[in-house]
Amino acid sequence: MTEAPAVETTQLIVETTQLTKQFDDQNAVAAVNLQISPGEIYGLIGPNGAGKTTLIRMLATIDEPTAGEIHIGGQRLIRDQANPSIKQQIGFLPDDFPLYDDLTVWDYLDYFARLYYLKEPTLTQRIQEVIELVSLEDKQRSPIRQLSRGMKQRLSLARTVIHRPTLLLLDEPVSGLDPIARIQYRQTIKALQRQGMTILISSHILSDLEDFCTAIGIMEQGRLVESSQLRALYGRDSQRRIITASLGEAAALQTAVQAFDGVQVCEVLPDQKIGFAFAGTDVELAEVLRSLIQSGHAITEFHQTQETLEDIFIKLGYQKTA
Ligand SMILES: Nc1ncnc2c1ncn2[C@@H]1O[C@H](COP(=O)(O)OP(=O)(O)OP(=O)(O)O)[C@@H](O)[C@H]1O
């Protein structure tokens, strides 16, 4: 008898069912069904008080749910128990991570590596790896108090991944960082994903999230009101937007553009360019440009822009988070 071929199933890394956390008489997290697949970078957004930190803390096994279930890597989190094999899979970076100012970068990482029972020769090798990952090679013998805020954030991240977790939970890791430091941080997150980690990250900085997230969840008043692949979100709700300009009066160009079928919102932008949403095909768009030129408009610019994540959220009617 031949055996049936094994059906390959993708095990979710995070799965919650009706997950709820109540504080006093308020549901900080209300019946959340969250699913995160392996290799995702899942961005969690929502206004202050929406429940993001509370949700992440429950996934990190720091806080107990009031109701509902959590599965991490297919294993169910058992209430009131230590859940060591689940904890081993998780790296959690809270928004207010304390550092020990007097320790050097190396000694700090060494301390945490030993808490995870790392032993030589793996211990030294792993510390070197994470120091390289967060580009702190020059500072490895410096006391933590001498690091900049950005360096301290990167050190916290190094500590969080020292035991090679499969799931990384990052609660607003880039808050307070300058743009250069955020770029560096984004590169590190992408490197961790390439190494096979699944990442859940909360942030108010949507431009960062759209750079590296593969999926987005939106929380409002404890509920997960949206959860989808970033590409699907763009495909579903994004509209093509065209920017054009001419040597003539912006108002004259606006009037001409508005006359075409498929032009939906046409406005004069602060720099005297014209911006409009277009619902037609590429052929119809090419016709708009040809007709404008034929009717004497000296067009200097005509190109398409992608709506940002923030544009999409505002259009979906969610509260602006940034
Ligand atoms: N320990 C607590 N005791 C009582 N209420 C709490 C506690 N922790 C959180 N809350 C409440 O739960 C709700 C959700 O808070 P939470 O910190 O999870 O939101 P958040 O989305 O992370 O907000 P932010 O973007 O400001 O970090 C808020 O109304 C908050 O006041």
Specify the ligand 1 atom closest to the Cα of 204. 25
Q: Which of 69-78, 92-101, 186-195 has the lowest mean pLDDT?
A: 92-101
Instruction: Judge if the beta carbon of residue 57 lies within 6 A of ligand 1.
Output: no
Specify the ligand 1 atom closest to the Cα of 172. 27
Q: How far is the CA of 50 from the centre of ligand 1 (A)?
A: 7
Specify the ligand 1 atom closest to the Cα of 46. 21
Instruction: Judge if the beta carbon of residue 46 lies within 6 A of ligand 1.
Output: yes
Cα dihedral 140, 203, 58, 109, rounded to 10, equals 0
Name the residue of 20, 21, 22, 23 to mutate for ligand 1: max ligand atoms within 8 A of Cβ.
23
Instruction: Judge if the beta carbon of residue 56 lies within 6 A of ligand 1.
Output: no
pLDDT tens digits for 177-208?
A: 888 888 888 999 999 999 999 999 999 888 88
Gap between the Cα atoms of 12 and 72, Å rounded: 8
User: Taking all residues of the chain, what is their mean pLDDT, rounded to a whole number?
Assistant: 88
Q: Which of 15-29, 167-181, 217-231 has the lowest mean pLDDT?
A: 167-181
Task: Check the CA dihedral 170-13-208-312 and report its sign.
Answer: negative
pLDDT tens digits for 205-256?
A: 888 898 899 999 999 999 999 999 988 887 765 667 899 999 999 999 999 9
Whole-number pLDDT of residue 322: 42
Instruction: Judge if the beta carbon of residue 62 lies within 6 A of ligand 1.
Output: no
Query: What does pTM read for this prediction?
Result: 0.81
User: For the chain, what is the largest distance between any 2 Cα atoms, rounded to a whole number of angstroms?
Assistant: 80
Whole-number pLDDT of residue 10: 63
Instruction: Judge if the beta carbon of residue 94 lies within 6 A of ligand 1.
Output: no
Q: How far is CA 123 from CA 87, 116, 117, 129, in A?
A: 19, 10, 9, 10
Given a cut of 80, whether residue 312 has pLDDT beyond it is no
Q: How far is the CA of 54 from the centre of ligand 1 (A)?
A: 6
Name the residue of 32, 54, 204, 321 to mutate for ligand 1: max ligand atoms within 8 A of Cβ.
54
Domains present along the chain, CATH in parentheses = 14-229 (3.40.50.300), 239-305 (3.30.70.100)
Mean pLDDT of 139-162: 92
Is 162 in contact with 112 (CB distance < 8 Å)?
yes
